[in-house]
Amino acid sequence: MNRTEIHAVMARQDGVITRTQALRCGMSSTSVSRTVGTGEWVTLVPGVYLRSDRERTAGVELRAAVYGAGAEAVAWGPSAAWWHGLLDRPPARHYVTVPHHRIRSCTRSTRVRRRDLHWKDTVVVRSLPVTALPLTVLEAATEMPSGSVLMDRALQRHTSLDVLQRVHRRNSGRHGARAASRLLCSAGDGGHSEAERILHRLLRDAGLTGWRAHAWSCGFEIDVVFEVGRVAIEVDGWAWHRDAHRQRRDAERQNVLVNAGWHVLRFTWHTLVEDPDGVIRQIQAALDRRR
């Protein structure tokens, strides 16, 4: 038995080791059982163990869920997004993909998906198999309430629209593909026009009147104005489309309008889609204050 190799494996895996890995390092089944029996290792799930002096962290729990699901299992969706560093916090449940032929049930803490993934769509990050970042972005974006924000941030820092579209086409038959397609279309055109249409619909549905689209003031075209209350509403598309020059120009524009007596509200595509009631409440509050 090579204890140095065993310790190296556990060091790479937050103190976690699988039965298969231990046997490959020369341990016998009897030795594994004895180590568990003495309390040196703690069983996380059948066949997956943690050193007793290591903390049972969120990362340890995700490793247990993936390793315990067997060979070729990978983390996907929000779990993979957290592992890639796209999310600050781990999701409440573990998301695990297993090969299609393997029967494995979901549990209260783990959502299991049966699917055969293309080799290009899986990677190993810090000794844990996960979906590759582009597929992770597509799948997490359709699984989370604020998924469009995640996709927008990923487009700014980690990937490109061309890559996401290519991976989407390769996985076009997956669950959530239709929702991902809508997000990609919106991201592709920057989302501003669609954001305007959404805002107009929200205003009409809320019964708000007295507004006008594409009004001019101080040399600027404003997306929506309530002229009686001097309330101006600007909508922003996806942030990855806005370069530093555009951001500076928008800030200058807003300052000019405020100095001219306009109460300016700004809403992103994401806010309009994900919190329409909140948008209407903010607009109504601004109108009430300006009366």
Please check whether residues 61 and 181 belong to one and the same domain. Answer: yes
Residue with more model confidence, 131 or 248 = 131
pLDDT of residue 245: 65
170 close to 120: Cβ distance less than 8 angstroms: yes
pLDDT band at 225 (very low <50, low <70, confident <90, very high): very high
Please check whether residues 169 and 207 belong to one and the same domain. Answer: no
For residue 229, the domain's CATH number is 3.40.960.10
Number of domains present in the structure of the chain:
3
The whole-angstrom separation of Cα 78 and Cα 112 is 13
Q: What is the pTM (predicted TM-score) of this model?
A: 0.82
Please check whether residues 266 and 235 belong to one and the same domain. Answer: yes
Question: Structure tokens of 187?
Answer: 């991201």
Tens of pLDDT along 36-47? 999 999 999 999
pLDDT of residue 1: 61
Please check whether residues 260 and 285 belong to one and the same domain. Answer: yes
pLDDT band at 65 (very low <50, low <70, confident <90, very high): very high
Nearest to 260 by CA among 215, 207, 194, 203: 215
Please check whether residues 41 and 162 belong to one and the same domain. Answer: no
Residue with more model confidence, 134 or 157 = 134
HEC states along 89-134?
CCCCCEEEEECCCCCCCCCCCEEEEECCCCHHHEEEECCEEEECHH
By mean pLDDT, which of 112-116, 188-192, 238-242, 245-249 is the weakest?
188-192
How open is the CA angle 21-36-71, to the nearest 5 degrees?
A: 30
Q: What's the mean per-residue pLDDT of the chain?
A: 91
The whole-angstrom separation of Cα 128 and Cα 191 is 35
The whole-angstrom separation of Cα 113 and Cα 78 is 13
Please check whether residues 73 and 167 belong to one and the same domain. Answer: yes
Please check whether residues 70 and 171 belong to one and the same domain. Answer: yes
When pLDDT is averaged across residues 35-58 and rounded to a whole number, the result is 96
When pLDDT is averaged across residues 231-255 and rounded to a whole number, the result is 81
How open is the CA angle 98-141-154, to the nearest 5 degrees?
A: 110
Please check whether residues 10 and 117 belong to one and the same domain. Answer: no
Please check whether residues 152 and 244 belong to one and the same domain. Answer: no
Fill in the amino acid letter for 241: H
Please check whether residues 184 and 133 belong to one and the same domain. Answer: yes
By percentage, how much of the chain surpasses pLDDT 90?
Answer: 70
Please check whether residues 25 and 72 belong to one and the same domain. Answer: no
CB atoms < 10 A from the CB of 3, how many?
10
Please give the full DSSP string across 25-42, using - where no structure is assigned: TT--HHHHHHHHHTTSEE
Tens of pLDDT along 100-109? 998 888 888 9
Please give the full DSSP string across 151-182, using - where no structure is assigned: HHHHHHHT--HHHHHHHHHHTTTSTTHHHHHH
The whole-angstrom separation of Cα 233 and Cα 265 is 5
Q: What residue numbers bound the domain in which 78 lies?
A: 57-188
